[in-house]
Amino acid sequence: MKNLNTIIISVLCSACCLYIYHVSTQRKITRLDNNYARLVAQTDQISASSEVIYRDKYVSNASFVAAASKAINAVVGIEAIKITQDRTGNDKYARTNGSGVLISSNGYIITNYHVIENASEIELILEDKREFKAELQGYDQSTDLALLKIVASDLPYIQIGDSDDLDIGEWVLAIGNPFKLSSSVTAGIVSAKARQINIFKTQGVESFIQTDAAVNPGNSGGALINTEGKLVGINTAILTYSGKYEGFSFAVPSNLVEKVITDLREYGAVQRAWLGVSVLSVDEKRAEALGLEKIEGVFVDLVEREGAADRAELKFEDVITAIDGKKTKSRPAFLEILGQYRPGDVISISYFRKGKTYQATATLLNQLNTTDYIAVRRDKLFTELGFELRDLDSEEKEKNNQAGVMVVSIMKGSTIESVNMDPGYIITSINGIKINTVEQFKTKLESTSGLVLLNGFYENYPKEWPYKFYR
């Protein structure tokens, strides 16, 4: 009997425990369900509001397919052939591979300068397997960009998009020829903008779009596109310890690309605008010392006399916060924005000085502090002979009472050095034909073989100095 009572009590206790457990867990499940329901509702609200804000950037698998289909036929493979001589005088051949992007139906192609640097021949292969010889139209070392041209028509090309419109976290696609694997497409997001990685040997404009789209050797010069299939960057570099992709790739923004390439097409060289300041990014210590509310902008470290900034009355220790309404959050961002202008352009500058915000208007100048369109020409024809040239600006023409072509620099061991010409020489004629511009000089030089006779003068020595050489 005693055992029976014990059994009954045990059963009742077990039943009570089961009931309590059931009720308590049911309540937990209910709370979780309610939280989930609220989370779903909140997510729906966020999604609904996001759809309004980012509707144009909604991404699906179909978006990737459509974007890739638009762009893939306009990305080309590039093989640059470099011919040098060994100690015995025999030719040595080296080949580098990269990518390029067609930007017009008549055969203009963007690539990186380092892909075709010092190339004796440049060969292209299109997506449809057609092969072409390409001519170098111009290049800009400070942005690592080059413009090529092939003789063809009705080619597929990529429309250039607005890189300023890119958002961090937005999906992008990289298209190129890594390891000679043609038409390879990889996807990633925009990880950062206005990134500086210090890859240029000389002073350059480093304001890269950073992505995690896989980019490897051979992708250089290829396309970075958005989900609309528009070009938003030219893939240029990776950060790596192994020599291969490790999660970071960098592209020159399309707005800067478009300006550089337009200049190369129209003028043969980049028309770079100068504000006449040296700037530094603002850090926490400097922001606190200056009384800035946010740690952003560029600190004016130096103002050049008679430069554009000096004429606009900017001063040392001013902090430039925006140009034409575009925020200059860092030095790379400042250089990227400024790199989209030409001499003579008028810009609005927002700046901070001693606790107050001001506005100034500046007319941008060239490196000679004038508004003329001049630039140093490094065409292959000139560098093979061994000099770099530029047009005279308006002040130089007025001072010398004539036009001509200025010799900017002369390369060691070159044909031009062998005739003892010095930088600063102003060429006024070639084989008796007067020339006023670098373009005129180039046209005449291209049609000349054998003896070349240059006439000109040095500004401090007004008498005529002739030089002759053979090509």
Q: How many CA atoms lie within 13 A of 430 on its CB side?
A: 23
Name residue 81's beta-bridge partners: 95, 121
Angstrom distances, CA of residue 193 to CA of 149, 199, 217:
30, 16, 22
> The tokens of 1 are what?
């009997």
CA distances from 293 to 185, 282, 288, 322 (A): 43, 12, 8, 15
Pairing of strands 231-238, 223-225: antiparallel
CATH superfamily of 380-470: PDZ domain (2.30.42.10)
The DSSP output letter for 352 is E
The 10 Å CB-count burial string (b at 16+, else e) for 448-462 is: eeeebebbbbeeeee
Helix and strand counts by DSSP (H, E) for the chain: 11, 25
CA dist 367 to 264, 308, 338, 406, Å? 18, 11, 14, 14
Phi-psi bin for 169: left (phi > 0), alpha (psi -120 to 50), beta? left
Tokens standing for residue 240? 């790596």
CA dihedral 438→440→441→443, nearest 10 degrees, is 120
CB 70 within 8 A of CB 161: no
C-alpha of 410 from chain center: 28
| Domain 277-363: CATH superfamily, name plus number | PDZ domain (2.30.42.10)
CA contacts within 13 A on the Cβ side of 320: 37
pLDDT at 11: 47
- The radius of gyration computed from the CA coordinates of the chain, to the nearest angstrom, equals 31
Assess contact for 216 and 245: CB atoms under 8 A.
yes
Q: Using CA atoms, how far apart are residues 108 and 167, in angstroms rounded to an integer?
A: 29
- CA gap 14, 10 in Å, rounded: 6
DSSP 8-state class, residue 37: H
- Rounded CA separation 117/146 (Å): 9
How many residues are present in the chain? 471
CA distances 339 to 143, 194, 330, Å, are 10, 13, 14
Topology of the domain covering 56-269:
Thrombin, subunit H (2.40.10)
Tens-binned pLDDT, residue by residue, of the chain (471 aa): 545 555 455 545 555 554 444 444 443 322 223 332 333 333 333 333 333 334 355 566 778 899 999 999 999 999 999 887 777 778 788 888 999 999 999 999 999 999 999 899 999 999 999 999 999 999 998 999 999 999 999 999 999 999 999 999 999 999 999 988 888 999 999 999 999 888 776 567 889 999 999 999 899 999 999 999 999 999 999 887 777 777 889 999 999 999 999 999 988 889 999 999 999 999 999 999 999 989 999 999 999 999 999 999 999 999 999 999 999 999 999 999 999 999 999 999 999 999 999 999 999 999 888 999 888 888 889 999 999 999 998 889 988 888 999 999 999 999 999 999 999 999 999 999 999 999 999 999 999 999 999 999 998 887 899 999 998
364 vs 346: CA distance, rounded Å? 6
Rounded CA-CA distance 254/162 in Å is: 7
For 116-269, list the strands marked E by DSSP.
121-125, 131-133, 135-140, 145-149, 171-176, 184-195, 208-211, 223-225, 231-238, 249-253
**Predicted local distance difference test score (pLDDT) of residue 51:** 38
Q: 425: Cβ–Cβ under 8 A, 6 or more apart, which residues?
A: 406, 407, 456, 457, 458, 465, 467
**For residues 193 and 215, what is the distance between their CA atoms, to the nearest angstrom?**
17
Between the CA of residue 416 and those of 89, 147, 261, 370, 413, what are the distances in Å? 22, 26, 29, 29, 8
- Non-local (6+) Cβ contacts of 155 within 8 A are 74, 102, 104, 105, 106, 107, 126
pLDDT at 318: 96
Known catalytic residues are: 114, 144, 220
| Three-state DSSP string of 222-266 | CEEECCCCCEEEEEEEECCCCCCCCCCEEEEEHHHHHHHHHHHHH
Identify the pLDDT of residue 6: 53
